[in-house]
Amino acid sequence: MSSEANEFDAAIRAHDETLESRGLEVWVGAEPTFTRRSSESPEWLSEALGESKQHYAACILRRMHRQHPGSLVLRTIGRQYADEDLPRWNLGLYRRRDGRALADSLPVDPMGQVVSCGLELMQAFWQRLISVLNRQGWYGGGFQAGGDMGLRILFRLDGGRPLVDPHQDSRLTRPSLHEHAIPLSGAVDDLATDGQYLIAIGCPAVGTDNIRHPCIELPAFPDVPSFVTFVRLVAEAAAGAGLRQLVWRGFTQPVDNSVAWTTLTPDPAVVEINAAPAVDARQFLAMSRPLYAMAEAEGLSAYRLQYNGNLSDSGGGGQFTLGGPSPAGSPFFLHPQLLPRLIRYLVRHPALSYWFAPAYVGSFSQSPRPDENVRESFSELSVALQQLATTDKPQPEYLWRSLSPFLVDTSGNAHRSELNIEKLWNPYLPARGCLGLVEFRAFRMARDAEAAASIAALLRAVVALLSEADVVPELIDWGSELHDRFALPFYLRQDLDRVLADLESAGLGLGDPITRRLCDDSALLVGQTDFGDCHVEVSQAIEFWPLLGDAASQEGGSSRLVDASTTRLQLSLRAAGDSDSDLDGWQLLAGRYRLPMRHERDEKGSVRVMGLRYRSFVPWIGLHPGIGAQAPVSLTLVPPTGDRVLRISMHEWQPQGAPYDGLPASLEEAGRRRRERFVVEELPFDTLAESAAPPADALSDYCLDLRRT
C-alpha cells in the first residue's frame, strides 16, 4: 500500500476513533451504481432492463460469494414501475457479520451453470425437509399443487398445526412471487401474517438463460433467528437428499445487526448495488474497495466518458444511508432534535446539496431540496420545525409525521428528495418502513472507494456535530441566490469550507487526506491559460434544467424529460500578484459583451468570478424553439495596455466541426479531446470589435445569460 493510501487510512481511523470517544454509533450504507461505459446499448444508456445486465450482476455476486464462504445467494423481487409488467430482478448476498457460515454444506445458487434437476431428487429433498421441520417443532405438512413449483410445505413456528388443505385456502396454491405484478398494497405475505409459512419447491426456468434449476421459494420470515434456523434446516435436508445446488428465491428476508445483506438490481443505465451498512468508516472503506475492484474486473465502471471527452458519473447516482445498529439505536431517535437540525443545516449549506451531486439537480431532479419545492411548502416547513423545537423528546412516529410532508418533490414523491425518510418510521411501508434510517440522495456516483469513504466520513461527522449542538437554529431562505450564486463552484467551495470549519471547531475535523478528497474540483476544469500577468480559468458550473411537461404525468417512470440544452460555466481571473488591483483595467468579453466580474478572495488570494449561460445544442424536444445553438462560445481577454488580445473558443466537438469517431478508450484520450476543444489564440488588438454592456435583463448578480442577448 502506498504512503498516500496509508495516510488516508489513518485519517479514516482517526475519524472513527473520534466518534467512538464520544459514544456515537452511526452506521453507514451506500448505493453505488456501475455501468458499461464502452456500451451504447439502451440498457447501459437509459433503460433499466436488458439482455446482459443480469449476467454482469451475477458475475459480481459470484465474486462476492467466494469472498464470504458460507453466505447465501438470495433472489428476491426488486422495484416495479407503472410501465413495467413484472418486478425487476434482485440478486443478493445474505451473510453473518461474525464471518461464520450460515450452515454446513449449504447448497449454493448455480448462477447460470447447467445442473441436474430431476423430479426424483426434488421429491427426496421435499420429504426430508418436511421431516427436519417437524423434528425442529415447526410442524408442517406437504402437499402438491400444479406447475413447476408444485411441491409445497406449510408449517408454523409456534408449535401449532397448519391447515394444509388447498381446497379450504386458495392461498396455498398461490403463484410464484416472481411471476406477477406487485399489488398496490406491496409484496405482503398474508399467510405469514397469519403465522403460517408456505414453501414451494420445484424446477422452474430461472434468470435470463431459461435453464431449469432446483429451486426453493421462501415465505417472509418474521425475524433473523427463525430465518437463520430455517437455512440450517434446508442445508440439512439438502445434504441428506444429495442436493448440492439450489436457487433460493421469494420474499425479502429480515435483517438485524447480526447479518449483512447486499443486493444488486437493475436501474436505468446501471447495475445498482445496495451495500450492507457498515458499522463505521473503516469497515465502509474495507467493504467498498473490493466492491469497486470486482465491478472493474467484470468490465463495469463508476463513470462514463462522452464522445467529446467530457467525464460524467455512471448515470445512476450514489446515495448514502445513515442509521444505527437497530431502529432503537438510530442516532435520529437517540437524539430526537438531530433530524430537524440536519434539515436546517442542509438548507443553510448548499454545498452539501450541489458540490457532490450528479449533473441534474434542482426542483425536478432525483434529490430536490426542501426550498426547491413550492413556496407554501417551505413556509410550512418552518412551522413544523418550530413545533418540533418546542417538543420534549418527540417520538419516532411523531418525528416522521411532522417532517415527511416536506421531504418530497413538487409532485409529492417521498423517494425523490434530498433527504429520504421513507424508512425512518413510516407505518405505511410494509416490513421496512420503521428502521430509523435517513437516506442522503444528493450524491453522484463516487469515482473510487476512497472518494466514497470520504463522503461517508463527512456525513457521519455532520450527524455527530448536530447530535451535540444546534449550529443553525433558524431556517434560512436563500431565494434567488440558491440557483444563481450557488450554481458556481467558487461559492460552493467557500460554503464547503464553512462546513469543514464547523467540524474542526467542534473537534470533529476530518484531516487533510479526507479533506483533499472532498475538495477536489479537478473534474470541473474545462480549460485554463495565462496571458501576460493574468490567469484565466473556465470551469463547469451547475445548471438547473427545466422539466418538460408536468411531473405528475411522468411519475410512473424512472426518469423525467427535461431540457438539458443549457450549459453554465464559471469564468475566473487571477493576477500573478496577490493584489486585486493587479487586475485593474483587464476586461473579459463573452462575444462582444463585457462581463461584470465579481471581486472575491479565497485561500489563493484575489480572484474575479462570473457565470455564463448559453444554449449548447438544440434538443429534439425542448423549450425556446427560436433560440439556436450558441456554441462554440467565444471569450476575449483584453489587457489594460498592449497591442494583443487573447481569444478563447470553447467547442462542443472537434474545432473543425467534425464529430468524433467513437467513445474515448481511456481517461487520457478523453482529456486530450477536452483540451483540443479549448482553443487559445493571440490576436492583434485592432481585430477586436466594439464591445458593449450586456442587456440588463440578461444579467443576474452572478451570471450573464447569452440566451437573453
Among candidate residues 518, 549, 583, the one where a domain is terminated = 518
> Do 511 and 573 reside in the same domain of the chain?
no
> Do 487 and 420 reside in the same domain of the chain?
yes
The strand pairing partners of 278, in sequence order, are 28
Q: Name the percent of the chain lying above pLDDT 70.
A: 97
> Do 108 and 159 reside in the same domain of the chain?
yes
What's the confidence (pLDDT) of residue 47? 93
What's the confidence (pLDDT) of residue 445? 96
Nearest Cα residue to 138 out of 127, 149, 152, 154: 154
Cell of 46: 437509459
* Residue 58 forms part of a structural domain: no
Measure the N-to-C terminal CA separation of the chain; round to a whole number of Å.
55
Cell of 459: 456525513
Q: Rounded CA gap, 684 and 543, in Å? A: 35
Question: What would the mean pLDDT of 91-120 be, rounded to a whole number?
Answer: 92
Question: What would the mean pLDDT of 217-225 be, rounded to a whole number?
Answer: 96
> Do 115 and 167 reside in the same domain of the chain?
yes
Tens-place pLDDT, residues 535-591 = 999 999 999 999 887 766 666 666 678 899 999 999 999 997 666 668 889 999 999
> Do 382 and 468 reside in the same domain of the chain?
yes
Nearest Cα residue to 153 out of 180, 191, 205: 191
> Higher pLDDT residue, 343 or 79?
343
Question: What would the mean pLDDT of 448-461 be, rounded to a whole number?
Answer: 98
Query: What is residue 233's three-state secondary structure?
Result: helix
Number of domains the chain is built from? 3
pLDDT above 70 for 121: yes
Among candidate residues 230, 254, 278, the one where a domain is terminated = 254
> Do 475 and 554 reside in the same domain of the chain?
no
Q: Rounded CA gap, 34 and 53, in Å? A: 10
Tens-place pLDDT, residues 587-639 = 999 999 999 999 999 999 999 999 999 999 999 999 999 999 999 999 999 99
* Residue 633 forms part of a structural domain: yes
pLDDT above 90 for 467: yes
Read off the pTM.
0.95
Residue 689: pLDDT band by 50, 70, 90 thresholds? confident
> Do 489 and 354 reside in the same domain of the chain?
yes
Q: For the chain, give the mean pLDDT.
A: 93
> Do 545 and 691 reside in the same domain of the chain?
yes
What's the confidence (pLDDT) of residue 165? 83
* Residue 485 forms part of a structural domain: yes
Write out the residue range of the structural domain in which residue 490 sits.
3-31+319-518
pLDDT above 80 for 210: no
pLDDT above 90 for 70: yes
Tens-place pLDDT, residues 299-346 = 999 999 999 999 999 988 899 999 999 999 999 999 999 999 999 999
pLDDT above 90 for 208: no
What's the confidence (pLDDT) of residue 579? 64
**Burial label, 29 (beta-carbon count in 10 A; 0-12, 13-18, 19+):** buried
> Do 539 and 502 reside in the same domain of the chain?
no
Residue 113: pLDDT band by 50, 70, 90 thresholds? confident
What's the confidence (pLDDT) of residue 167? 82
Cell of 248: 433460493
> Do 452 and 566 reside in the same domain of the chain?
no
Question: What would the mean pLDDT of 477-494 be, rounded to a whole number?
Answer: 97
Question: What would the mean pLDDT of 361-381 be, rounded to a whole number?
Answer: 92
Question: What would the mean pLDDT of 235-242 be, rounded to a whole number?
Answer: 97
* Residue 259 forms part of a structural domain: no
* Residue 292 forms part of a structural domain: no
> Do 559 and 685 reside in the same domain of the chain?
yes
> Do 142 and 173 reside in the same domain of the chain?
yes
Among candidate residues 232, 254, 276, the one where a domain is terminated = 254
Contact of 460 with 26, CB cutoff 8 Å: yes
